[in-house]
Amino acid sequence: MLEAITGTIVALHEGSVVVQTGPFEMRFRCGATLLEMLRLGEESRLLTLVEPGPQGQGLVGFAFGSEAERDLFGILRDIQGVGPSTAMAILSFPAPAIQNGVENEDATLFKTAKGVGPKLANRILGELRSSEKLEMLGLTASASSTKSREAIDALKGLGFSSSDAIQMVASLPDTLSLEELIRRALRGGEE
C-alpha cells in the first residue's frame, strides 16, 4: 500500500491537498492542521493512507504530517460511528487541544467537530482515554500539559467556554510560563 508520497504541492483546497510526483497529480484528504503547514510549490513528504471509497467508488487517499496523526486517524476510525470525514474533522484540531481534552476528560472539543454529537463525543473521549491508546499516541501527562490545563482552567474561570479556552491555549508554544500562556491566550496569541 502507499505508505508515503514525496512531491510538489500544486494545490491546496479546504480539506485536501494535491501533490505532483513525476507526471502524476494525486489528491489526498487532510486536516486543517496539515494544510496550514503546507505551501504551494514546496517539495513535501506526506504520510498516506489509502482505502476504498464509499460504495466501492474507487480509492480515497488521506495525507498526514506525522505517524502520530496517522495513528490517531486509525484509532478514531475504529470507533463506532466515526467515519473518515469525522476523523479528519477531529484531526483539524491542534494536537495539544486533543491532548488537553483527553487528559481533562472534557468531550467539549470533540462536540465541535462536524458530525459529532454528545453521545459520539463521549464515546470518542472514552476510547482515547484508554491508557494503551494514550501511550501509543504519546499523550501522557507532562509539565507543559499541566501548564496548559492550568491556563485553560484560568480562562474558564474568566468566563470562557471549555472549547474556547482549549482552542485559545492550543496554538501557543508550551515553553511559555503559565502567566505568559494566559496573557497571550487573551491577546489571541500575540506577544
Question: Which among 120, 104, 119, 123 is positioned nearest to 163, based on CA atoms?
Answer: 104
Are the CB atoms for 71 and 141 separated by under 8 Å? no
**CATH number of this structure's domain 4-64:** 2.40.50.140
The model's pLDDT over 99-151, given as tens digits with 9 standing for 90+, comes to 888 878 888 999 999 889 999 999 998 888 764 555 555 554 444 456 777 88
Indicate the CATH number of 67-137 among 3.30.360.10, 1.10.10.10, 1.10.150.20, 1.10.1040.10. Answer: 1.10.150.20
CB within 8 Å of 6: residues ≥ 6 apart: 21, 43, 44, 45, 46
Give the residue extent of every domain in the chain. Answer: 4-64, 67-137, 143-186
pLDDT of residue 134: 55
The model's pLDDT over 72-108, given as tens digits with 9 standing for 90+, comes to 898 899 999 999 999 999 988 877 788 888 878 888 9
∠ CA 17-23-25, rounded to 5°: 15
Q: Is 67-137's fold the same as 143-186's?
A: no
pLDDT of residue 148: 74
Size of the chain in residues: 191
Q: What is the pTM of this model?
A: 0.67
Domain range 143-186, CATH architecture? Orthogonal Bundle (1.10)
